[in-house]
Structure 1
């Protein structure tokens, strides 16, 4: 900790004036015990306040005044009445103290305001960085999806809507050399809560044999809705059904949304 910077911050004046919270008072007290420079500064501030008060408003109590008057009466038969001291200097002393209080308080307020502004600026910077990172990730994902669609080595299979969702559609991009398969699900509606789309690779002969090749999870989070799925093997057709979350062992034909032959 920079002791000089801490001393010049104005917090020690507020400590002496009793304007800090209990926790802040405790913090200053602990630092004063640990650092002699801080303790010396506190003592110096206290002495300055005492000097200001005594120089502007010397105090004479009623008890002391009575003692002095009694001694004068013993020594002299005639006592000269003392007139009350003009309070003008006393008022000036209080005014000087008030100005000192206000100045220290204003300095403290400015420091707190600067701290708040700095924290707000840091928060805005963090939010901006998050936006930039998110934007970069979305851009990379979009470029990747475009490369998938534009790959001339892909076999493109169009899946048409079925009885469960006649207006639905989808496309399969199947690169038989790399055995990479992607599903363009932009033609499918948002799945209901607790449901998920499941993609099936179908062998039609000698008997219909469906094999699950993936779930279209996080459907709403992917704006492009292009999903990678598993290798299809010797698929003769593809279908997409709506299944309970987690998928099913076999397709629910009543929820067959799209279907298409290779």
Structure 2
């Protein structure tokens, strides 16, 4: 059920004003017990109409209370009241003054009804404005989090690049991946290695990229990484590389392989190029 469309249908305003059928009344009471949004809308409508009634309430004359108490005095014998039809003055009901009085009363009733709907319209407008402000605030918070994350990644890149002994190598794809590029950060002092993927083809879930350090012409496992094509993301690998004449990238099964699959070689770059 679309709660927003149901609230906007006007059935709740008719319910609060008592202008619904028994079936509609039971329907509103049932749905308001199920959906909190409908319950809150009913409460707000009731508060608006109650405030309007209190604002335009009229204090009855003090003589009304005395007359009522006299009529409720049970010590006096109660006489049977004879009800006679009230004589109707045809001339007075058809007079211009009588018609004008009813026209004025009907006009005042219509004005009060229109004012009530105006108050309800203003309430809904304020609710929509509040919802828009909340949405804008949520979007702003999302943008702030993204900027914070981007700054954290930038700080990580600077921390890696500025370390003493760090070397940065650019690996470009061969004819199997001509548009692929990535950076390899290798620190010969700390023996740490990290990669920054700039562009690599996506792989199946059971495959991963694997980095190799070439030492005296032999490949040594330098760790696996994913094709996260995010220029600001640096992936630190879990292998120590003490020596390297070159670095190469192959596609292997997830988790890595003890030996490279040369048929999947995508890039190779010497360290002292």
Class of the TM-score when normalised by the shorter of the 2 chains? 0.5 to 0.7
Deviation at 1:203, TM superposition (A): 4.7
Note the residue ranges of structure 1 that are not aligned, 5 or more in a row.
Answer: 1-10, 32-37, 52-65, 70-79
CA contact (8 A) 1:14 1:104 kept: no
Aligned partner of 2:202 in structure 1 is: 191
1:143 deviates by 2.6
State the shift of 1:141 in Å.
0.8
Give 2:116's aligned residue: 104
Separation of aligned partners in 1, 2:267 and 2:233: 15
Structure-1 residue corresponding to 2:264: 255
1:169 CA drift (Å): 4.8
Query: What is the CA distance between 1:184 and its match in structure 2?
Result: 3.5
* Distance change (3 Å), C-alpha of 1:163 and 1:90: closer
Q: Which has the higher contact order (CA 8 A, sep 6+)?
A: 1
- TM-score, structure 2 length as denominator? 0.60
Root mean square deviation, CA, Å: 4.2
Tell me if 1:229 matches 2:230. Answer: no
Q: Does 1:138 align with 2:138?
A: no
Q: Does the Cα contact within 8 Å between 1:164 and 1:254 map onto a contact in 2?
A: no
| Residues 1:147 and 2:159 aligned together | yes
- For 1:180, which of 183, 192, 199 is the aligned residue? 192
Indicate whether 1:15 and 2:16 are aligned.
yes
1:106 is displaced (CA, Å) by 0.7
The answer for the alignment partner of 1:211 in structure 2 is 221
Does the 8 Å contact 1:203/1:234 carry over to 2?
A: no
Deviates most, 158-167 or 140-149: 158-167
Whole-angstrom distance in 2 between the partners of 1:134 and 1:181: 26
Structure 2 gap ranges (5+): 1-11, 34-38, 61-83
Whole-angstrom distance in 2 between the partners of 1:235 and 1:108: 76
Q: Give runs of aligned pairs for residues 74-93 of structure 1, distance below 5 A.
A: 82-83=90-91, 85=93, 86-93=98-105
Q: How many residues align?
A: 211
